[in-house]
Chain A
């Protein structure tokens, strides 16, 4: 469980990125943190594994104050996948890349081997086992970065902008993968701008603006609220926009994904076209 109590944070150059953030994420939850650029999303999640320590307030991970423990010991529980995989890949082969963190955490040789095989397999990278990470495509590098974090099986996985630079198919695969991870009991925290992605996942959404959490609730409730969206500079999903426009016909306005929308429209048309 992650608990954040009244956290303030200011960068050394003087930018106040967090202005009193409090929240609580329970084990096994799926949370999307959204908001405009510079709202403080990344700064907030960097507090979850101790990369940043609050200037004021406290952050607890599994009841432990992040101030009192090393980043490495927090990282064991909270895996963090950075936005740009090029910021972490450095080994000669994909295999070594995944093994790197496992060795840092002191896993045994045998365990490292099985974990590496497992991680390559679940992200469809087995054929690249001996390939240099620098030879992989953008999408593959991103998956390798994710594999290298999942390999040590952290309780919580934080993904910073996982969908950037992925084609539709990869994005959909990634979405299914993340949903599956969550279904297996992992706490998943996603930082993203991608409303369609969030709408399809349907997680708990926290909306940030100017260093504060301005809304916290169900994806459906938050993404269909025009005022909130405006406040946090996001645009409701396209499907929601259509339904907001069709409100006069007595259709619901809280529709966020296409499957739901299809069913409602089908029923509506069946009623209307009836002789």
Chain B
């Protein structure tokens, strides 16, 4: 369950934590956009590296590394599958060797995981909800979204308990062939889903009994306000986006294969 730990908010105080969530989300989108725009390894490596200072300033490096560790399995899978297709099917750009294209694909995935991890590690669910509300998303949706985010660790913990309970009844997750292994997860998934549904019904009742939705027009005690640091990040993000688009359109980027040969 360590993957989830890498996205779970830590109540810390750092310049990154204090940034407006809307601005942070813009930054994540920009990184997302640039990562999608490039197929070459070099810019993706650069994109990966420029985010490390954010991690260090926010001092969430331990959790961040956890999220990367969790993502490494999927990244490897992406590499292997793409490599297989590139090598045997020949579906890769001609100026690259068959290993570079899959490498770029997994790097792209890591960059996305990295930026989302930074976003969720440094943004409290409350701020996220505020940001959504102030972006005129209906309150019901904001609430559903933040509740979902908030319950991820609870569910992860529950999944662990269920796993323990089934192991205590002789379930061996790692035994058998592939199909058997997938089937091994049924005794874990069913109780987990049942208890999640039960929990959501209970939550709904608890909320109704505390007069949820009684007032038509909700007001908030705290309101998000943009500060100078927020404007700086907006400028940096837009600058990065423009620079990224410019490079993409006008500057040819050498592939690693070309550099190495």
Which of B161, B162, B168 lies in contact with A71, CB distance below 8 A? B168
List B contacts of A89 (CB < 8 A). 191
**Complex Cα spacing A101 to B168, Å:** 9
- Interface stretch of the complex, out of A15-23, A79-87, A211-219: A79-87
Residue of B161, B166, B167 with most chain A CB atoms under a 10 A cut-off: B167
Which of B167, B172, B187, B198 lies in contact with A90, CB distance below 8 A? B187
Query: Are A100's CB and B168's CB within 8 A?
Result: no
Residue of B165, B169, B172, B186 with most chain A CB atoms under a 10 A cut-off: B169
Given A88-B191, A90-B187, A90-B191: A82 in contact with B165 (beta carbons within 8 A): yes
**Complex Cα spacing A104 to B184, Å:** 11
Main secondary structure of the interface of B (DSSP, over half): helix
Interface residue total, chain A, C-beta cutoff 8 A:
26
CB-based A-B contact count at 8 angstroms: 63
Q: Which residue of B lies closest to A88 (CB)?
A: B165
Interface residue total, chain B, C-beta cutoff 8 A:
20
A121 CB-CB contact with B under 8 Å: no
**Complex Cα spacing A188 to B198, Å:** 32
Q: Which residue of A lies closest to B195 (CB)?
A: A86
Residue of A80, A90, A149 with most chain B CB atoms under a 10 A cut-off: A90
Which of B161, B172, B195 lies in contact with A70, CB distance below 8 A? B172
Q: Which residue of A lies closest to B1 (CB)?
A: A12
List B contacts of A100 (CB < 8 A). 169, 187
Query: Are B168's CB and A80's CB within 8 A?
Result: yes
Write the residues of chain B forming the contact surface with A, with a CB cutoff of 8 angstroms: 2, 158, 161-162, 164-172, 186-187, 190-191, 194-195, 198
Write the residues of chain A forming the contact surface with B, with a CB cutoff of 8 angstroms: 12, 46, 49, 51, 70-72, 75-76, 79-80, 82, 84, 86-90, 100-101, 104-105, 134, 148-149, 152
